[in-house]
Amino acid sequence: MPLKEKMTFLKKYSSLWAAWRHPIPSESFSQLKTAVKEKRLKFYQSIGSPEYYRNSFFVRTTEGGLMSNTLWDGTGGTPLLQETDSLLINNLLFKNYIEPHPCGGIMIDPKTFNICVKGENINGLYNIGPLNKGALFSTNAFWFNAQCSERWAHQWAKRIHHNTRAETEIIY
């Protein structure tokens, strides 16, 4: 998908895509529906980021606000690298070892998982997982990360085997 088209897709459909790619057993939906009907569960739509206030978290919602001393964030990290709290990511950005992908995460070569900076693959620097979300879809899905790791390991095993054969041929 061309970059401009991908950015448009992510802006318009990322929530729908995220819901589709993380399959939830259908019985879970019926359990949630039952809990809502029985008033044991209520969903709120937040309209802002959580705020920490007097040892509690406050979240503004379309129906007012919620306050709690516990907060679970199931939304994932920020797609914008510049907003990360990670010292490692910030240091890599500062030293120009990585660059942000326009759709979020780190710029990588999707065929090799090499990190790319200014269009060039960085030899020996790879990334597999959620920080690839700009270059790849389904990066939060465990099965997809396992598949990427398997492909990456296979690629390296072939490269090591090839180099070992080359060294053997040079020696003899």
pLDDT, tens digit, 9 for 90 and up, residues 145-157: 667 777 777 777 7
Answer whether residue 122 is part of any domain.
yes
- Which of 4-13, 52-61, 94-103, 139-148 is most confident? 94-103
pLDDT at 2: 78
- The model's confidence at residue 38, banded by pLDDT at 50, 70 and 90, is very high
Answer whether residue 22 is part of any domain.
no
Answer whether residue 129 is part of any domain.
yes
Structural domain that includes position 156: 77-172
- What torsion do the CA atoms of 137, 143, 145, 148 make, to the nearest 10 degrees? -90
Q: What pTM does this model have?
A: 0.46
Answer whether residue 141 is part of any domain.
yes
Token pair 């690298």: residue:
81
**In total, how many domains does the chain have?**
1
Q: Is the pLDDT of residue 171 over 50?
A: no
Residues 117-136: pLDDT tens digits?
999 998 878 887 777 777 77
Answer whether residue 64 is part of any domain.
no
Query: Which has more confidence, 106 or 23?
Result: 106
Answer whether residue 114 is part of any domain.
yes
Answer whether residue 169 is part of any domain.
yes
* Cβ within 8 Å of residue 37, ≥6 positions away: none
Answer whether residue 3 is part of any domain.
no
Q: Is the pLDDT of residue 138 over 70?
A: no
* Cβ within 8 Å of residue 124, ≥6 positions away: none
